[in-house]
Amino acid sequence: MFNKRVKIKDLLATEPKGQEVTVMGWVKGFRQNQFIALNDGSSNNNLQVVVELGTQDEATLKRLTTSASIKVTGELIPSLGKGQKMEVKAKTLEILGDSNAEVYPIQPKKHSLEFLRENAHLRFRTSTFGAVFRVRHTLAFAVHKFFNDKGFVYMHTPIITASDAEGAGEMFRVTTLPADNPPRNEEGGIDYKEDFFGKSTNLTVSGQLEGELGATAFGEIYTFGPTFRAENSNTARHLAEFWMIEPEMAFYDLEDNMDLAEEFIHYIIKYALEHNREDIEFLAQRLAEEEAALPKEKRSEMGLMEKLDFVVNNKFERITYTEAIDILLQSPAYKKKKFQYDVKWGIDMQSEHERYLVEKHFKKPVIVTNYPKDIKSFYMRVNDDGKTVAAMDILAPGIGEIVGGSQREERLDVLIQRMKDMHVPVDELSWYLDTRRYGTVPHAGFGLGFERLILFVTGMTNIRDVIPFPRTPKNAEF
Ligand code: 4AD
Ligand code: MG
């Protein structure tokens, strides 16, 4: 059998008693013609493999270059050297795959994140990205665990759809029609009747509308899948393809919705701290070193571990949109004209405003509720004041909006009126309106941007560095 290997993570947790073990991995470093630092991706920690002088031929030793893959069988013994508890004394050493160190892009030195982004196909092998993507995995697992333990049904909503759930028109078209000469209808427009689905379709921007169909049957569902937005926002917070978690619950009002979102975020961060503390501590150290090079006013007030502990152990602030605008209007930043964009009731807050609230004023995550209806989606429940909707956004320090959600409009007549006012096609969404026609119930839900959460937990600052293969304007490499 080939694969009788022990993972390095498991091995480092055992007692070295001279037992024989087989390990496989990639060479991280080789020094003094004797000491191999071996990594197999199970942990950021390397295993030291000792090749005793004279036991291997020179030709083999020469092939122990960075990122060569090897198989080693030997004795696991307490380490004689400093810096590690144990090491493997190699009995047999086999090179599985050579790596030409002269052209291998990832050299054993510190590379910039930009450089590694260009080499995203190999960046998983670095300590930073190894840690980031193991944390991503832990968080994804925690999402499923949280909802499964609560009895939510995991629902797969379609990737290809004919609807624009958010009504924002930021969709990628899906078509098999020839781009250069599509069939035309009588009015001269593109004839989508000839298209694969017989109508115009796009990649989903959100699974929410289908999620509501699930919630009004199962009671509580969640989705966790890729979503696509053709918004031309070339920022460190936007991706064209990102993963979203969208729970949708019958018999929930806005407050229930906020309570669930807060419990959920606390839970998954706590889960990651408990189940993958090692990688988060490594990233905390990385961030501290990075920030040490910055001028004092640009450094974070708290280290990453401290920040995460603080967030897990404190309640989020809850304010209405109207209160948020008042705080901004009273702020020294506003009075000293430090904001680039104007502040008044009715604006869609810009990230500078959100950051002020979260980072300067409250210094913790903030849930903002009851936004003006004109800046929010058609499905949000209209409040009694007729001006605002039962929306909630969660804003996080360093990130801005991390969650967007609302109580849904369950009154058929009010919903249809809203759709008409906002030019959302009522006929095409007849299937959606059926939930309001047949046993409508108060219900609510939210969407959490998975990559924004990962940014928060890992302390990384660019969203391109927390998804394996980022899709952004003018970039679909790999
Ligand atoms: O606020 P959004 O647009 O809300 C919805 O899509 C609702 N249907 C959710 C719901 O109620 N079920 O998006 C939700 C979250 C945002 O708060 C943000 O975290 C993330 O998705 N997000 C993005 N993340 C990365 N890149 C983008 N371009 C994003 N757009 C939204
Ligand atoms: Mg939003």
Least confident of 23-27, 214-218, 295-299, 302-306: 295-299
> Mutate which of 171, 206, 244 to test ligand 1's pocket (most atoms within 8 Å of Cβ)?
244
Binning pLDDT at 50, 70 and 90, where does residue 248 land? very high
CA 404 / ligand 2 centre spacing (Å): 5
Binning pLDDT at 50, 70 and 90, where does residue 1 land? low
How is residue 151 annotated by DSSP?
Answer: T
Q: What are the C-alpha distances in Å from 49 to residues 59, 263, 357? A: 18, 44, 52
Q: What is the pLDDT of residues 126-180, one digit of tens each?
A: 999 999 999 999 999 999 999 999 999 999 999 999 988 887 778 999 999 999 9
CA 144 / ligand 2 centre spacing (Å): 23
Instruction: Report how far residue 302's alpha carbon sits from residue 473's, in angstroms, rounded to the nearest whole number.
Output: 33
Q: What are the C-alpha distances in Å from 157 to residues 209, 226, 270, 322, 441? A: 9, 10, 28, 35, 21
How is residue 358 annotated by DSSP?
Answer: I
Q: What is the pLDDT of residues 46-63, one digit of tens each?
A: 999 999 988 999 999 999
Report the nearest atom of ligand 1 relative to the CA of 248: 12
Mean pLDDT of 416-438: 96
Residue 200's pLDDT is 94
Mean pLDDT of 70-84: 93
Q: What is the pLDDT of residues 217-243, one digit of tens each?
A: 999 999 999 999 998 888 999 999 999
CA 300 / ligand 2 centre spacing (Å): 25
Cross-strand pairs, 92: 73
Report the nearest atom of ligand 1 relative to the CA of 247: 12
Listed residues: CB within 5 A of ion ligand 2: 404
Binning pLDDT at 50, 70 and 90, where does residue 108 land? confident
Residue 165's pLDDT is 80
Instruction: Report how far residue 296's alpha carbon sits from residue 293's, in angstroms, rounded to the nearest whole number.
Output: 9
CA 366 / ligand 2 centre spacing (Å): 14
Is the separation of the CB atoms in 412 and 433 below 8 Å?
A: yes
Q: Dihedrals φ, ψ of 77, to 5°?
A: -130, 155
Interaxial angle between packed helices 127-149 and 254-275, expressed in degrees from 0 to 180 and rounded to the nearest 10: 130
Q: To the nearest whole number, what is the mean pLDDT of the chain?
A: 95
Among residues 10, 432, 49, the alpha carbon closest in space to that of 214 is found at 432
CA 376 / ligand 2 centre spacing (Å): 8
Domain residue spans of the chain: 8-97, 125-170+205-465
**Which residues lie with the beta carbon below 6 Å from any ligand 1 atom?**
165-166, 206, 208, 229, 231, 238-239, 242, 244, 246, 401-405, 445-447, 449, 451-452
User: Does residue 2 register a pLDDT over 70?
Assistant: no
According to CATH, what is the number of the domain 8-97?
Answer: 2.40.50.140
Going by C-beta distance under 8 Å and a sequence separation of 6 or more, which residues neighbour residue 300?
287, 291, 307, 398
Residue 420's pLDDT is 96
Mean pLDDT of 79-106: 94
Q: Whose CA is nearest to atom 5 of ligand 1?
A: 447
Domain with residues 125-170+205-465, CATH architecture: 2-Layer Sandwich (3.30)
Token code pair at residue 112 = 């910039």
Least confident of 128-142, 260-274, 289-303: 289-303
Residue 429's pLDDT is 96
Placement of tokens 């849904």 in the chain: 408
Instruction: Report how far residue 133's alpha carbon sits from residue 288's, in angstroms, rounded to the nearest whole number.
Output: 19
Residue 469's pLDDT is 97
Placement of tokens 């290809």 in the chain: 160
Q: Do the domains 125-170+205-465 and 8-97 match in fold?
A: no
Count of beta carbons in the 10 Å neighbourhood of residue 238 = 18
Binning pLDDT at 50, 70 and 90, where does residue 82 land? confident
This prediction's pTM: 0.96
* Separation of CA 232 from chain center: 19
CA 291 / ligand 1 centre spacing (Å): 29
